[in-house]
Amino acid sequence: MLHGKSFIAGAPLADSARTFHAVSPLTGDRLEPAFHEVGAAEVDRALILAEEAFTIYGHAPAEKRAALLEKIGEEIMALGDDLLQRAHFETGLPLARLTGERGRTVGQLGLFAALVREGSWCDARIDTALPDRQPLPRPDLRRMLAPLGPVAVFGSSNFPLAFSVAGGDTASALAAGNPVIVKAHRAHPGTSEMVAQAVVRAVAACHLPAGVFAMLHGSGAEMGTALVRHPLTRAAGFTGSRTAGRALFDAAAARPDPIPVFAEMSSLNPVFLLPGALRERSAQIVEGLKNSVTMGVGQFCTKPGLVFGIGGSDFERFAENFAAAMRTAPPGTMLTAGICRAFHEGLTTMERVPGVVALGVSDTAPDAAKTHGEPVVFATDAENFLGQPTLHEEVFGPYTLLVDAPGFPDLVRLARRLEGQLTATIHGTDEDLAEAGVLLAALQRRAGRIVVNGFPTGVEVCPAMHHGGPYPATTDERFTSVGTAAIQRFARPVCLQNLPASALPAELLDANPRGLMRLINGQLTRDAVA
Amino acid sequence: MLHGKSFIAGAPLADSARTFHAVSPLTGDRLEPAFHEVGAAEVDRALILAEEAFTIYGHAPAEKRAALLEKIGEEIMALGDDLLQRAHFETGLPLARLTGERGRTVGQLGLFAALVREGSWCDARIDTALPDRQPLPRPDLRRMLAPLGPVAVFGSSNFPLAFSVAGGDTASALAAGNPVIVKAHRAHPGTSEMVAQAVVRAVAACHLPAGVFAMLHGSGAEMGTALVRHPLTRAAGFTGSRTAGRALFDAAAARPDPIPVFAEMSSLNPVFLLPGALRERSAQIVEGLKNSVTMGVGQFCTKPGLVFGIGGSDFERFAENFAAAMRTAPPGTMLTAGICRAFHEGLTTMERVPGVVALGVSDTAPDAAKTHGEPVVFATDAENFLGQPTLHEEVFGPYTLLVDAPGFPDLVRLARRLEGQLTATIHGTDEDLAEAGVLLAALQRRAGRIVVNGFPTGVEVCPAMHHGGPYPATTDERFTSVGTAAIQRFARPVCLQNLPASALPAELLDANPRGLMRLINGQLTRDAVA
């Protein structure tokens, strides 16, 4: 039974004057119950309790943090199908997808638990004392990563489980030892409440201070600003629109003491089709690209929104077949009425750009009552693309733009003119790739992940993943929001000089009781200090 | 023979209309030659050439980068005593200190060369393909750190060699594969020119594109802003005042595409004297603290500017003896007339704060003609310190403030109310420290390095060093400007999915030809991929 309340330190808050309801994009129906909005006073209270909890949780042994993450996963599973049903009604995402996303969410929590338990992520470094060194002795220096303090996490609309209340940002922030305050996304408040309940139960079961976690319902811009401006907030993680992400970044940068905001915002995920690949497996690329563009109704940050090729009969045939495939692809329910409206406005904007041709639109008319977005492909040429900044903007939904260029050097020129991207993809034969070094190099400058002969959707959660990229893909290209390296966003080094062993954390003791890989006098080793 | 010109891509620039001279703080004399200021047009040209050079240098093998760093060190040594003499006249720093600093500078270059040659810093991660995984196959994912692109470095006044033209910022940026554009500090332009000449020679000797390095003379604020606003600049490193550092940070954060500015700005480096230590080795602490406060005429970022103790006869006696020691300490030549003026203005400001007592001032009167700063210690109590924000500000020079608190809980309260610091120090016996856990925890929240029974000046250049801290110590507490971890500021991950081996860098090849420590399928190993 949902109560529609925010949680601070384990307890639901009282009713408030302002409420809102979730609306199912499947039907347009208002879903019960009403959700109670909170404001700056509750943000303040959540942060004060988080800061108090941090004095304990920030020093909790790794095993305690790992156990919490695993317990959260167990409690999410214990919510059973009710969670998936509610998420389905709130987001319109199919149950099969949500079942997979729940698996990913619980898997992420487990992955961070394992990372924390193994422990080497903390980058322990020891330089032992050299008391007889001339002209000056060297003191004993030991350094490791420590948590930052309370972290604000903004639930994203398109991953109601994997990038929301107990998603990747929360998991990585908790793993590093930080309390988390989640701003629930207004599109799936019931899903958020259920998962928050699971986290609250896990925190209690692990005998951790309840202030380690809070989840607040509130108005997006107002609460977002309050969270990143609060003096006790030390960092924030966000996935969403460029406008909202930039607003949070700007508010954080303008603080008396600026804090990092990791916003993952906008990406067109360009795909480059080289001649050999188009000659040899055009049909396969048509099918794969259509799936990648339309998967999840095009609502992935890694959806390919730009497809470049060299003009000529092969590319023309590819374009025809791809347009045909998009015509047969059915519309699907988008996450919210607002996203659906923005999608259609985006299509209108693109269509009005001179030199843009509507190549293919789904044969099935979208049903507005079902918040449908329909597969669409437009086309233009390289010169027009370069001259029209509008075409460089993301349209969130099942849309992509084909761009034909006169020759290979133009593809390189196009790559260099792109804004920052999460991903860039090349399809090519071995011969194509052998000659595409310049293009590869240009794309590595513009994107965080380069995909060869594959598609950018389907982001693997693993140590080698980098889900980040130059602005506007993210506000900080040096960090990832997916994969175990995401923990690095929420930690800072602390160096301890000449501390007695009794005051050192286990990670920095001579004996290396945790068996970490450490950098001792410049050598990576799991050995104890000699 | 100095020519007074900036360098872009290995060539000195033409004369300009605006010139300035260095002024020796030892005598107040204007030093020849005139230095020619350049402006936004030259910034633009330097960055365009740096970007061009980056297409080669950014992919140069580690051995090439290591060789460049070592060659720069050799060329600096080849400048011989002329460099030290010029630096001495420009900065007033004694030759012995400058000799040591040159050693540190060349040592830093060598340390980064070794780091790059060993190579594991690039954090290579490989998750191999799982083509048969259900429900979906896993692609081959390989990730490593790559350089960012052109980096702007701002020479600092207080380390004319170790944090200037070829100092730690330049060494770490070049080590990671980034071109560097240095803004020369106006207080030591001749020293800057000589070192720039050494770098230019090294770049040429290593057959690298000349655009990898530039050094520009110009007006501080104007050129600083032009550098961090330039679209091709990808990051900046700065050591200096809080006002200047914040201005650069703000300009960078306001860009259409924000970039990181690593500014190391301001720190009071509080020292906490616990009762046992004061009882057992007061005289030793007096001597050590006096040396730490007056070393380099107090012009270190880690100079202890605050000393806390628990009021009572031991602390009173310590204060008396410390004041006596400061009275016998001689004045010294400060780096510039501006720094000297700011120091004296700072003293006046502090002295005017109600409840502040002048405890001890050097018996020797400072000689204005020699740009002297004189050792000074003031005192106040804890309540007054907490109530007077002015007392939380840095006074750059040989000054410190003693603060007596009623008891240990007040020390903890004081620690929690401090702004961010580079360092915090505790003096205590084993018994003191056994009971000081809360204080240690509070200080780890506020400072990047905790020193026990030592002094914060004398920053070791090594892997375990962290020279950073919460704002306003730096603009990003997650990074260090000293030690090998400084390289992490100037790199970003790039993930390569399903690339053919022929397109992979050596660091990510199955065979691990460089013998790196890598994370393969979640395991740290130097083995090849099985």
For residue B292 the two structure tokens come to 């730490």
What is the three-class DSSP state of B379?
Answer: strand
**Element holding A403 (H helix, E strand):** strand A399-405
pLDDT level of residue A392 (50, 70, 90 thresholds): very high
Q: Is the pLDDT of residue B333 over 90?
A: yes
- Type of residue at A254: A
Instruction: Compute how many other C-beta atoms are within 10 angstroms of the C-beta atom of residue A400.
Output: 30
Q: Enumerate residues 6+ apart whose C-beta is below 8 A from B79.
A: B194, B195, B197, B198
Opening angle at CA B475, ends B453 and A144, nearest 5 = 45
Pick from B468, B491, B495: CB nearest A448: B495
The pTM of the whole model exceeds 0.90: yes
Rounded Cα distance between B336 and A84, Å, is: 68
Q: What is the pLDDT of residue B1?
A: 87
Rounded Cα distance between B202 and B208, Å, is: 9
Are residues B319 and B402 in contact, defined by beta-carbon separation less than 8 angstroms? yes
Name the catalytic one among A70, A75, A264, A394: A264
The tokens 């580079």 sit on which residue?
Answer: B422
CB contact under 8 A, A450 and B494: yes
Are residues A401 and A379 in contact, defined by beta-carbon separation less than 8 angstroms? yes
CB contact under 8 A, B492 and A478: yes
pLDDT level of residue A230 (50, 70, 90 thresholds): very high
Q: What is the pLDDT of residue B275?
A: 98
Q: Is the pLDDT of residue B221 over 90?
A: no
The residue count for chain A: 530
Q: What is the pLDDT of residue B135?
A: 87
The tokens 């091709």 sit on which residue?
Answer: B232
* Å between A444 CA and nearest CA of chain B: 7
Rounded Cα distance between A194 and A178, Å, is: 22
- Per-residue HEC secondary structure of B36-63 comes to ECCCHHHHHHHHHHHHHHHHHHCCCCHH
Give the tens place of pLDDT for each residue, A200-216.
999 999 999 999 999 99
Nearest CA in chain A to B123: A464
Residues of A whose CB is below 8 A from B460:
127, 138-139, 141
Q: What number is the average pLDDT over the span B7-12?
A: 97
Give the tens place of pLDDT for each residue, A161-176.
999 999 999 999 999 9
Active site residue B264: yes
Active site residue A264: yes
Name the catalytic one among A42, A51, A122, A301: A301
The residue count for chain B: 530
DSSP state of A391: G
Q: Is the pLDDT of residue A1 over 90?
A: no
Q: Is the pLDDT of residue A59 over 90?
A: yes
Half-sphere exposure of B325 (CA within 13 A, CB side): 22
Q: What is the pLDDT of residue A361?
A: 98
Opening angle at CA B142, ends B138 and B148, nearest 5 = 140
Give the sheet arrangement for strand A357-361, strand by strand. Answer: A357-361, A376-381, A399-405, A306-310, A271-273, A421-427, A447-452, B491-497, B141-147, B125-127, B518-520, B523-525
ipTM rounded to 2 decimals: 0.97
Residues of B whose CB is below 8 A from A477:
148, 492
DSSP state of A463: T
Rounded Cα distance between B261 and A374, Å, is: 43
Pick from B256, B448, B524: CB nearest A493: B448
Are residues B489 and B237 in contact, defined by beta-carbon separation less than 8 angstroms? yes
Maximum separation of any 2 CA atoms in chain B, in Å: 82
Q: What number is the average pLDDT over the span B424-435?
A: 97
- A to B CB pairs, distance under 8 Å: 202
Nearest CA in chain B to A484: B522
Q: What is the pLDDT of residue B392?
A: 96
Are residues A240 and A156 in contact, defined by beta-carbon separation less than 8 angstroms? yes
pLDDT level of residue B476 (50, 70, 90 thresholds): very high
* Å between B452 CA and nearest CA of chain A: 5
For residue A398 the two structure tokens come to 């099942």
The DSSP bridge partners found for residue A363 are: none
Pick from A127, A258, A453: CB nearest B498: A453
Q: Is the pLDDT of residue B166 over 90?
A: yes
Q: Mean pLDDT of all residues in chain B?
A: 97
Q: What is the pLDDT of residue A221?
A: 86
Rounded Cα distance between A211 and A44, Å, is: 12
Percent of chain B with pLDDT over 70: 100
> Do the strands A141-147 and A125-127 form a parallel or antiparallel pair, or are they unpaired?
antiparallel
Pick from A59, A141, A471: CB nearest B464: A141
Q: What number is the average pLDDT over the span B267-292?
A: 98
Rounded Cα distance between B481 and B487, Å, is: 8
Q: Enumerate residues 6+ apart whose C-beta is below 8 A from B490.
A: B147, B148, B151, B172, B173, B176, B178, B235
Give the tens place of pLDDT for each residue, A270-304.
999 999 999 999 999 999 999 999 999 999 999 99
Give the tens place of pLDDT for each residue, A12-26.
999 998 999 999 999
Pick from B143, B454, B468: CB nearest A464: B143
Give me the torsion for CA of B42, B47, B52, B53, rounded to 10°: 100
Are residues B478 and B494 in contact, defined by beta-carbon separation less than 8 angstroms? no
Nearest CA in chain A to B455: A497
Sign of the torsion formed by the C-alpha atoms of A60, A66, A72 and A75? negative
Give the tens place of pLDDT for each residue, A457-485.
999 999 999 999 999 999 999 999 999 99
Cis omega before residue A135 (within 30°)? yes
Can you list the alpha helix ranges (DSSP code H) found in A238-336? 242-253, 275-294, 313-328
* Å between B98 CA and nearest CA of chain A: 14
Rounded Cα distance between B346 and A207, Å, is: 50
Give the tens place of pLDDT for each residue, A303-343.
999 999 999 999 999 999 999 999 999 999 999 999 999 99
Q: Mean pLDDT of all residues in chain A?
A: 97
First to last CA, chain A: 59
First to last CA, chain B: 59
Q: Enumerate residues 6+ apart whose C-beta is below 8 A from B315.
A: B273, B278, B309, B404
Residues of B whose CB is below 8 A from A142:
464
pLDDT level of residue B162 (50, 70, 90 thresholds): very high
Give the tens place of pLDDT for each residue, B357-404.
999 999 999 999 999 999 999 999 999 999 999 999 999 999 999 999
Q: What number is the average pLDDT over the span B352-360?
A: 97
Closest by CA position to B90, among listed B7, B179, B24: B24
**All structural domains of chain B:** 7-13+37-128+148-265+480-486 (3.40.605.10), 271-452 (3.40.309.10)
CB contact under 8 A, B517 and A517: yes
For residue A327 the two structure tokens come to 């015509």
* Å between B170 CA and nearest CA of chain A: 19
